[in-house]
Amino acid sequence: MSLPSKNAIWRVLVTGGAGFVGSRLVRRIETDWENADVTVIDDFRSGDFKNLEGFRGELIANDLADIDLNKLIQANDFDAIFHLASITDTRVMDQRKMCWDNIESFKRLLEFARNRQIPITYASSAATYGIDGKVNVETDERKPANVYGFSKVQLENLAAKYLREPDLAGWKLNAVRYFNVYGPHEQHKGAMASMIYQLYLQMTGGKRPRVFKSGEQQRDFVHVDDAVQCTLLAMNSAKPGVFNTGSGEAKSFNDVIAQLNKALGLSLEAEYIDNPFPFFQPFTQADLSRSKAELGYEPKYYLETGIAQYVKWLQERS
């Protein structure tokens, strides 16, 4: 399908719609499509009701991995599905729990949607690349360093398996591999919110920002509104695929601190601490060639403008 005209009735299912990226996507859809009919499924383990302030659709508060979707909703009611429900805490080491929740949820959604081949755009992750320490393209070998990344690889494998079935070959199952997303509506995530938000809290609390030695680890920090834009464009793609969703640039934690100091009018120096995590990625950067060529994706925010916007948003609500 193509994205509908702005005044069209668009029936959309968003799983994980009370979470960080999911709620931002819901807001975008309901803002841009006046007649959008949105259903959200979320069990609120990593979501927050405050993220759905002003939401005008239907909410199903349930665990997607444990429900029979056909008993709650009808496939005929939807034109598109965005699947963002997931255990997103990368510190979870219970492999059975992580795999059951993330993989089973997707499997049930695929079975629900397959007869009508409802287009599904689903959240994957840069964690699928592991700790390569290089600019990643979608065709790179997937070498996840933790079970979270492993579970996302299995989602991509499941989608590929369905697409190998002759009668499903044209089904639009699109993965968006999110890099380090930050921005409005992540505050409920606590310790799992972005490093940008963690450092903001430290600095506005009068503390020196703490980062791992020596602060030169680099990340592709992508603003949530850019992540949402790429997700919508992936739904609009001409064919199934996997698409990197980042800013296309790598910036260090020292860079983040410098931009936060600038946005906050501070001059706090970093405090460097030891890194206890063996799976910590030293470098991430998305190659956006495919996302730009096939989707027309162009990030709106880079680190300086993204942090400036985010700090303004946070301060307006403090």
Domain boundaries, the chain: 10-180+223-246+283-300, 182-218+250-275+309-317
Predicted TM-score (pTM) of the model is 0.96
Residue-wise pLDDT for 91-116, tens only, equals 788 899 999 999 999 999 999 999 99
Note if 200 is an active site residue.
no
Give the pLDDT of residue 1.
56
Q: Transcribe 185-227 into DSSP letters.
A: T-GGGGGGS-HHHHHHHHHHTTPPPEEETTS--EE-EEEHHHH
Between CA 32 and CA 121 the distance in angstroms is 18
Q: What is the pLDDT of residue 240?
A: 92
Q: What pLDDT, on a 0 to 100 scale, did the predictor assign at position 79? A: 97
Distances (CA, A) of 313 to 30, 106, 109, 144, 317: 20, 33, 34, 34, 7
Give yes or no on whether 10-180+223-246+283-300 and 182-218+250-275+309-317 have one common fold: no
| Residue from 189, 200, 251, 301 carrying the catalytic annotation | 189
Q: Is the pLDDT of residue 277 over 80?
A: no
Catalytic-residue membership of 272: no
Identified catalytic residue from 148, 178, 200, 297: 148
Q: For 182-218+250-275+309-317, CATH number?
A: 3.90.25.10
Span 79-97, average pLDDT: 90
Q: What is the pLDDT of residues 56-75, one digit of tens each?
A: 999 999 999 999 999 999 99
Give Cα 58 distance to the centre of its chain.
22
- Provide the CATH number for the domain formed by 10-180+223-246+283-300 in this structure: 3.40.50.720
Confidence check: pLDDT of 52 > 70: yes
